[in-house]
Structure 1
Amino acid sequence: MQTVSDVQSRLLALVKSILDQNAIAADLKPATLLVDVGLTSMDMVNLMLAVEAEFDFTIPQSEITPENFQSVETLTRLVVGQLASATAA
């Protein structure tokens, strides 16, 4: 079972790798708004795919919302919720 801090660390690493690819140096914290550090809509798509690959699940269409992709914090809630529902199924 993934802990929230595990999930958050992995998500921070994913976002940092996208920032690195774009040569963006940002002070990334869980609550930092991803658009504020320079993630574009294309980066968000790449992030979504990276999250799905990292955690081995498909994000339901209904969960692919700007609210869920605002920050690592909101993404953590999304992933933890998805992992919990997958475990419960």
Structure 2
Amino acid sequence: MSKLRVSAFTLSIDGFGAGPDQDLKNPLGVGGEALHGWMFGTRTFRKMVLGKAGGTTDTDEAFAARSFENVGAWILGRNMFGRDPRRMAG
């Protein structure tokens, strides 16, 4: 039996994981990057997504690092593939 695990995904207090009006220019919707901003500065995000050194080593980093443990695949929404991740919180 397959298993699905959701890790390091942010939801707003009203249950949304992205802002309104998603498109290729705003893959997380208008204002959506702010919702996930906690992760952009972490050592894990900088290394795995941006290919850069450095980053935070706080509680957010510990959570981000755990989210990558035993991951076989990432499933992303359709607009994420049109976005250069190096532009996110560079």
Is the structural similarity TM-score above 0.5?
no
Q: Whose helix fraction is larger, Structure 1's or Structure 2's? A: 1
Instruction: From the CA coordinates, give the structure whose radius of gyration is larger.
Output: 2
Which structure is richer in relative contact order (CA contacts within 8 A, separation 6 or more)? 1
TM-score by length of 1: 0.26
TM-score by length of 2: 0.26
